[in-house]
Amino acid sequence: MRLTSAGMFLLLFSALQATDVQEKEVRALVGSDVELSCVFPERHSFDLNDLYVYWQTSVVGTPKTVVTYYLSGNSSAGHEDNRYRDRARLSLESMKRGDFSLHLHNITPQDEQRFNCLVFRKSLELEKILDVVVTLHVAANYSMPVVRAPSGPSENEELTFTCTSVNGYPRPNVYWINRTDNSLLNETLQNNTVSLNAHGLYDVVSVLTIRRTPSVNVGCCIENVLLHQNLTTISTQAETVTGTEYGITESQADAPKKQGAVLSALIVLGVVVAVAVATGWVCRSRCPPQDPRRSWAARPEQTFSSTVSDENSPPGAWTGFL
């Protein structure tokens, strides 16, 4: 079988030439498309009949999964893992110019992997000319948290608030906020249940139990670390003499200002460009939000999936490789 033999030589060559692996990181939203960059650092045109190109997942200690590949003269078909069939694409036109980037369509949480791009040239006795590892970080936006205020008889010594948010990724941080002084409530007062749902995304339910006081004003904040996003919902429980009128809720979200197009950070051999991209990610907003009118909803520039590859980084790092 061709795949088997191809796989054999692949492993062999990985072992023999474990040098100069380029490492990058990319982030993408679930459901979006992403390009995993693998570009030959020098200007060079390639003959498609001279190339073997492999994209495989690379997890230490587990078998490699073929994402897609191109074998000299034959366009790839048939041997990809089912998970990637029809979702992974190489561009032959780009490959002629030395761009072996992988286009991955409709990202799922399971795509949070290390992807390895390997390029060999037949005319150089199958010398490996490129070895790039791209780590894909996947994120999904949590739903606006819904806070259920306590109901029922008011004789209880304790009040129980429940905060629910669904379909996010990665795992959330949950904070409860004392809206009276905007402080964080002690974590020991909350009990979080985080579960993976059928879509491979996280649902979270947080239960806050606090001592009954005449007026309680709390907020629930769901933090998505990867998106640098805090979603906050406020619950005001104004107790009356009869103690039955609870549950005025209002919602608002707090989002970073810099959540737009740039969602990719790369780590390329100390290239300063990476620092510039990374600092673009510094989030300036905080939770709880300072301005109650500032809302998340109308944000036109949410093009999270348009990842930034290293097109702009200087190619110097790879000279002397061949």
Ligand X SMILES: *[C@@H]1O[C@H](CO)[C@@H](O)[C@H](O)[C@H]1NC(C)=O
Which residues bind to ligand X, rule: CB under 6 A?
71-74, 141, 143-144, 175, 178, 180-181, 184-186, 188, 191, 193, 210, 213, 216, 221, 223, 228, 230-231, 253, 256, 283, 285-287, 296-297, 302
Which of 79/114 has CB closer to ligand X? Answer: 79
Sorted by sequence, the CB contacts under 8 Å of residue 59 that are 6+ apart come out as 113, 114
Cβ-closest position to ligand X = 73
Which of 133/189 has CB closer to ligand X? Answer: 189
51, β-bridge pairs:
121
Which of 246/318 has CB closer to ligand X? Answer: 246
Which of 202/318 has CB closer to ligand X? Answer: 202
Q: How far is the CB of 159 from ligand X (least distance, A)?
A: 8
Q: How far is the CB of 207 from ligand X (least distance, A)?
A: 7
Q: How far is the CB of 176 from ligand X (least distance, A)?
A: 9
* Alpha-carbon gap, residue 222 to 184, rounded angstroms: 13
223, β-bridge pairs:
173, 230
Which of 132/263 has CB closer to ligand X? Answer: 263
Q: How far is the CB of 289 from ligand X (least distance, A)?
A: 9
Instruction: Convert 47-76 into a string of H (helix), E (strand) and C (coil).
Output: CHHHEEEEEEECCCCCCCEEEEEEECCECC
CB count within 10 Å of CB 166 equals: 19
Backbone φ and ψ for 241, nearest 5 degrees, come out as -60, -40
* Alpha-carbon gap, residue 271 to 316, rounded angstroms: 10
Q: How far is the CB of 197 from ligand X (least distance, A)?
A: 16
304 touches 263 (CB < 8 A): yes
